[in-house]
């Protein structure tokens, strides 16, 4: 990918000139940082709102990760990375991308290629009580199980 980006920048420089190419790189980086910051702050507000309502803010967190990645690639010089970064800042594209990522993750979980665990320690959603809800036939023989005496 870096070789392709470099070749595109060289081609662009030959067509529009070095000063215009450098200005474009600086402009897209600055615009990307501005848009990512603005959208990132909006996502932080969504996360806070959902947490205040007692919901786990999974969707806004994924949005935040996509926006963070978009900001990183937008600050990297390149034509294709800029295109991808700007696409990730478009809410409609981000919704489509989240749907694709969700389906891929669900398939990976069903195949057993991915697992999900949740640690709510320190969270307002955490419960200090642990219950084993797995039915077992060996509980009577377990040394930890209470026996009638």
Q: Span 57-69, mean pLDDT? A: 91
Q: Please report, for residues 50, 71, 72, 111, 113, the alpha-carbon distance to residue 40 in angstroms, rounded to integers and kept in the order given.
A: 15, 10, 13, 33, 31
∠ Cα 47 98 39 (to 5°): 45
Judge whether residue 70 has pLDDT over 70: yes
**pLDDT on residue 139:** 46
Q: Is residue 102 part of a domain?
A: yes
Closest C-alpha to 67, from 83, 93, 85: 85
What is the per-residue pLDDT across 1-34, written as a single tens digit (0 to 9) for each?
A: 889 988 999 999 999 999 999 999 999 889 888 9
Q: Please report, for residues 30, 98, 137, the alpha-carbon distance to residue 92 in angstroms, rounded to integers and kept in the order given.
A: 22, 10, 51
Range of the domain at 60: 2-111
Cα torsion 59, 65, 70, 72 to 10°: value is 170
Q: Is residue 141 part of a domain?
A: no
What is the per-residue pLDDT across 93-140, written as a single tens digit (0 to 9) for each?
A: 999 999 999 899 889 888 888 776 766 666 555 555 555 555 555 444
Q: Please report, for residues 9, 18, 28, 39, 75, the alpha-carbon distance to residue 22 in angstroms, rounded to integers and kept in the order given.
A: 9, 6, 10, 26, 13
Q: Is residue 135 part of a domain?
A: no
**pLDDT on residue 113:** 83
What is the per-residue pLDDT across 34-50, written as a single tens digit (0 to 9) for each?
A: 988 999 999 999 999 99
Say how far apart CA 68 and CA 74 lie, in whole Å.
Answer: 10
**pLDDT on residue 125:** 55
> Which residues lie closer than 8 Å to 24 by C-beta, 6 or more apart?
12, 16
Question: How many domains are there within the chain?
Answer: 1
> What's the pTM?
0.68
**pLDDT on residue 149:** 46
Torsion-angle region of residue 132: left (phi > 0), alpha (psi -120 to 50) or beta?
beta
Q: Is residue 122 part of a domain?
A: no
What is the per-residue pLDDT across 89-105, written as a single tens digit (0 to 9) for each?
A: 999 999 999 999 989 98
Task: Give the single-character DSSP code of 75.
Answer: T
């Amino acid at each position: 990918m870096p070789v392709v980006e470099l070749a595109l920048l060289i081609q662009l420089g030959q067509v529009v000139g070095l000063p215009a190419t450098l200005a474009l790189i600086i402009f897209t980086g600055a615009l990307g940082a501005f848009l990512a910051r603005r959208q990132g702050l909006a996502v932080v507000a969504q996360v806070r709102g959902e947490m205040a309502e007692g919901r786990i803010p999974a969707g806004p967190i994924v949005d935040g990760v996509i926006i963070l990645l978009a900001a990183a690639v937008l600050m990297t010089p390149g034509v294709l990375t800029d295109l991808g970064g700007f696409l990730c800042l478009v809410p409609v594209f981000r919704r489509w991308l989240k749907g694709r990522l969700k389906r891929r993750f669900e398939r990976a979980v069903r195949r057993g290629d991915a697992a999900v665990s949740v640690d709510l320690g320190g969270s307002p959603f955490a419960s200090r009580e642990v219950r084993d809800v797995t039915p077992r036939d060996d509980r009577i023989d377990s040394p930890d199980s209470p026996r009638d005496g």
